Amino acid sequence: MSAQEKRRRFELDDRGFNEVPRKYRKYYRRWEGPGDKLQPNEMLCPVCKVVVRSNRELRPGDRLYCMACLTRLRIAEGANDELEAEVEY
């Protein structure tokens, strides 16, 4: 995937994640277990196991903030060309 290609945009809905302030709830959802599939705009926080969501497609080098556990995440390519989150702080 080229860095010059346009990123897909996603419409986010409130998934009932009430551990963060109301205006940020659409950016988080609970992990539903091993059968849960992540979308191209979602990343699992390795610290608190909450799914962090974005309005746009995630790519390596992007940074996310998990408000649930106050962790800064950087997106990197992992095994099998899948994206994974690395904890910055």
Q: What is the pLDDT of residues 54-88, one digit of tens each?
A: 999 999 999 999 999 999 999 999 888 889 999 99
Boundaries of every domain in the chain: 22-87
Say whether pLDDT at 5 is over 90.
no
DSSP-based three-state secondary structure for 23: helix
Class of domain 22-87: mainly beta
What is the pTM for the complete model shown? Answer: 0.88
pLDDT score for 60: 95
Q: How confident is the model at residue 26 (pLDDT cuts 50, 70, 90)?
A: very high
pLDDT score for 53: 96
